[in-house]
Amino acid sequence: MAATKEQDVVEAKGRAAALKEAYLIAILRYINLTDSDASNDSDLREALLELQKQATTYFNFYEEFVGNSSLLGAHENSLWAQGFAEDCLAVLQVMPDHFALIRKGFKALNIAVESNPSSTAYANMQRVCKRHLQKKLISQIKMQFSNSDLPIHGFQFKEGFTLSPSVRTVLAFLFGVVFIIVTLCVAIWMPNPSGFQYLVFRLVAALAAGGVVAVMPGFIELKLGLWLRAGGTLAVFAIVYFMNPAEQFTNSAPATSPIEQALHEKSQKIQPAGI
């Protein structure tokens, strides 16, 4: 059975918890070695590098999880997003002390490896915290990062503007409602449209119907012969456009096919004189 998006998010949260446990074990091992008089530089260096490895894996997983959970639609749930932002804040709060410990260890053991994160590191976590948490909490963690010489790119710059799936659905529904009302008004004002006008009304009505059903649950699939298959709002568009519902209410409706309708109207205008 294929996993749902919700199950994927839950599994990722479990993975995050396992990485946190591995990180804490690495910290405990390194601290125990630093407090032991019997430890040598080789053991300390190995424990410190292992600590850095586990920390990088843990931090980067949360950073990537922000984007992955957004793709899975988890951010649409405000309660989950609030709790996830609080989890991200807890991870960010660990970083100042963590990098201070790493820098001190690298200096003491003369390890010539860059320990500072890049200038845009952890920007996703910072943005999700800024979006969902109080300004007071954001100001505090931002000051801690600045004082620790850690990047604050996510606190300073917002993500690029994109429409969420829910916003797109609402806009499609509003578009449909507005154009259905416009089409009804035009039908009252212009009861006998020309062939071209009828074709335009037909197209607008099909688009409007697709927009309205975008907010309705369920799924519809339409098969027209062997060459056309449509689903969801596209299926509703095809039904309204090709089935010509106006023929159900009038005996003088234009031809079923828009092309035949246009040709029929043109033939009526071009007739030999004296007929």
Interior angle at CA 203, CA 188 and CA 253, nearest 5: 55
- pLDDT tens for residues 176-212? 778 778 777 877 887 777 777 777 777 777 777 777 6
Return the percent helix, strand and coil in the chain, to nearest 5.
70, 5, 25
Please give the average per-residue pLDDT across 201-225, as a whole number.
Answer: 67
Neighbours of 89 (CB within 10 A): 19
CA nearest to 88, candidates 114, 113, 123, 116: 123
CA nearest to 80, candidates 176, 3, 155, 9: 9
- pLDDT tens for residues 69-85? 766 565 666 777 788 88
Please give the average per-residue pLDDT across 232-241, as a whole number.
Answer: 67
Interior angle at CA 251, CA 224 and CA 208, nearest 5: 50
Whether the pLDDT of residue 11 is over 70: the answer is yes
> Which residues lie below 8 Å from residue 25, measured CB to CB, with a gap of 6+?
54
Mean pLDDT of the chain: 77
* Lowest-pLDDT choice from 51-55, 57-61, 87-91, 219-223: 219-223
Whether the pLDDT of residue 163 is over 50: the answer is yes
CA nearest to 10, candidates 57, 65, 55, 52: 65
**pTM listed for this prediction:** 0.61
Q: How far is the C-alpha of 18 from the C-alpha of 61, rounded, in Å?
A: 11
255 has which bridge partners? none
Whether the pLDDT of residue 249 is over 70: the answer is no
CB 240 within 8 A of CB 212: no
Sign of CA dihedral 240, 243, 248, 253: positive
Q: How far is the C-alpha of 195 from the C-alpha of 188, rounded, in Å?
A: 17
Which has the higher per-residue pLDDT, 206 or 225?
206
Which has the higher per-residue pLDDT, 52 or 36?
52
Coil, helix or strand at residue 231? strand
